[in-house]
Amino acid sequence: MAELLRHPQIMKEVQEEVRGVARGKPNVTEKDLDKIHYLQSVIKETLRFHPPATFLLPRESIEDIKLQGYDIPAKTRVMINSWAIARDPISWQEPEKFEPKRFMSSSTDYKGQHFEFVPFGAGRRGCPGNSVCNLNN
């Protein structure tokens, strides 16, 4: 909500989309989820801009490994900084700008297959509540 208050034009566009889909109905239903693309993009951008957890659950290396020039010994605890991933200028154009439209023509989802966007983690260790939270994805 804070980002919508900071960006009134984005809030206006979301309101127009939701009102257009609701068309006089008291509520938007689960059946309407595939019609509210801009709102879904706003949610994704909010999760990118403000990830639920700054660091994902720690991992531990099971063997000695060299990763991008770093030697990581076996049994080393590794923390993944999801906030830094979401602000990486290599992956995101203008990463410090709140821009929901970046997701409008993107197939990036919450499922952890796009490693530049991991608000719920990725792979086998991704958040099990992800599918409950994101009914349409």
Structural contact between residues 37 and 30, judged by C-beta atoms closer than 8 angstroms: no
Confirm whether residue 133 is marked as ligand binding: no
Burial call 56-95: b when 16+ CB within 10 Å, e when fewer: beeeeeeeeeeeeeeeeeeeeeeebebeebbeeeeebeeb
Helices 37-49 + 8-22 axis angle, to 10: 140
CA distances from residue 73 to 35, 57, 70, 116 in whole angstroms, order as listed: 49, 19, 10, 25
Residue positions in the annotated binding site for heme?
Answer: 127
Binding residues, by number, are: 127
